[in-house]
A = this chain, B = another copy of it.
Amino acid sequence: MSAERICAVYRVRCAADTVQARAQAIALEQSVELPLAAVTDARVRERIVGRIEAIDPDVGDDDGQGGECWRVSVALAAETTGPEPGQLLNMLFGNTSLQPDVELVDAWLPASVLEAMPGPGVGIEGLRAMVGAHRRALTCTALKPQGLPPQALAELAHTFALAGIDVIKDDHGIADQAYSPFEQRVPLVQQAIERANERTGRRSVYAPSLSGGPMRLAEQLRAAHRSGVRCLLACPMVMGVAVFTELVREHGDFAILAHPALAGASRIAPALLLGRLFRLFGADAVVFPNFGGRFSYSRKTCLAIAACAREALGAHRPAMPVPAGGMRVDRVEEMLDEYGADVMLLIGGHLLEAGASTPQRAREFVERVERAGSP
């Protein structure tokens, strides 16, 4: 890799007379972790030390915390990133994440970094092909609550697949607990969905949730393969982004849904982390908390996540945006208006709240999406 640079943009909250020093401190912290005077090697000074590219007043600050804010652009050496996803995050925000006055709001990545990352293995088109829906938006729901035994989750999955929901995922809290071990749950749920598919002629898929360290993950992947599973749910920030990327590289035949658990609020801009970086690390679809639900992301933030997931990014496939988090069936048309047809709508709790009418509500969800067609 040559002397290519990443451009990282930080939002810094400080007074005007200190921002130059603060910017310089960030540029050093995220590169050599030394005062410039202590960097004597000419090559390191020239190629490795972070450089301030720009300092601009920040006008987009809508978090209501007050105080002056600045957008500080820093050029970081691409060669410091490994190139590897964990080290990329480390170089973008590792030590600076420990400083409360700084957020990472954007990052422009050069070709060498883009090319070193896997990107989505199947992407939007692959997901569409998997479930056999080529133009309309996709539908997704979650098996919950955790604590139910495998058989109960399998029955629920059967109900959702009969209703025609495309992707039926484990709730992200469902892991490998004693009350529902992965190796027991996954074949039962998968078979239940396959039985429903035989009746409906559809191709609903199951996305079980991965958890644990490399050895446990390897066991889960073997069990998923054995059971005929074709889609997986993973939380990159819990699992470790390098583990996530290795998973994508080694198991590119699975479609992989990324969940935002532990992604924090606002320290790394959601569009950058969930939309661009998770996609770059290999997510085929990225779940995020949609506006107007249980979470507080703004409409602007949500549309920015979707834009990052689908925009041009080197040679990488687009990833499917998955707005979620307290969504309701009566919002289907509004969400399709916002996101267009290249979206997967995830509605979980609202289907279960219907109690005995859950099958009907699930069916309504599917029908409203199909009726909308390709908006």
Residues of A within 8 A of B (CB): 1, 25, 29, 31-35, 37-41, 43-44, 47-49, 63, 65, 77, 79-82, 84, 86-87, 89-91, 93-95, 97-101, 142, 144-148, 152, 171-173, 175-179, 211-216, 235, 238-243, 245-246, 260-267, 289, 294-297, 325, 348-349, 352-353, 355
Contact B147 A29 (CB under 8 A): no
Interface centre among A41, A176, A214, A215 (most CB of B within 10 A): A214
Contact A1 B145 (CB under 8 A): no
Contact A173 B80 (CB under 8 A): yes
Partner of A33, one of B95, B171, B177: B171
* Closest 3 pairs between A and B when the two form their complex, measured CB to CB: A240-B240, A213-B246, A48-B147
A29-B294, A212-B87 as given contacts; A39 in contact with B145, CB under 8 Å: yes
Contact B172 A82 (CB under 8 A): no
Q: How many copies make up the complex?
A: 2
Contact B34 A86 (CB under 8 A): no
A44-B145, A148-B44, A264-B97 as given contacts; A239 in contact with B238, CB under 8 Å: no
Interface centre among A63, A348, A349 (most CB of B within 10 A): A349
Contact B86 A295 (CB under 8 A): no
Q: Which residue of B lies closest to A152 (CB)?
A: B41
**C-alpha gap A47/B38 in the complex (Å):** 58
A262-B90, A352-B38 as given contacts; A1 in contact with B178, CB under 8 Å: yes
Contact B87 A246 (CB under 8 A): no
Partner of A144, one of B32, B172, B264: B32
Residues of B within 8 A of A176 (CB): 82, 84, 87
Contact B144 A214 (CB under 8 A): no
Partner of A147, one of B37, B43, B173, B265: B43
Contact A349 B261 (CB under 8 A): no
Partner of A178, one of B48, B79, B89: B79
Contact A31 B146 (CB under 8 A): yes
A48-B147, A172-B95 as given contacts; A265 in contact with B262, CB under 8 Å: no
Tell me the minimal C-beta distance from A261 to chain B in angstroms. 3
Q: Which residue of B lies closest to A25 (CB)?
A: B294
List 18 A–B pairs whose Cβ atoms lie within 8 Å, in order of A's numbering: A1-B178, A31-B146, A33-B145, A33-B146, A34-B349, A35-B349, A37-B353, A38-B145, A38-B349, A39-B145, A80-B177, A82-B175, A82-B177, A86-B213, A86-B239, A90-B211, A94-B172, A101-B296
Residues of B within 8 A of A355 (CB): 38, 40
Residues of B within 8 A of A34 (CB): 144-145, 348-349, 352-353
Contact B173 A90 (CB under 8 A): yes
Contact B82 A212 (CB under 8 A): yes
Contact A175 B260 (CB under 8 A): no
**C-alpha gap A65/B100 in the complex (Å):** 12
**C-alpha gap A79/B176 in the complex (Å):** 10
**C-alpha gap A9/B203 in the complex (Å):** 43
Partner of A349, one of B33, B82, B266, B289: B33
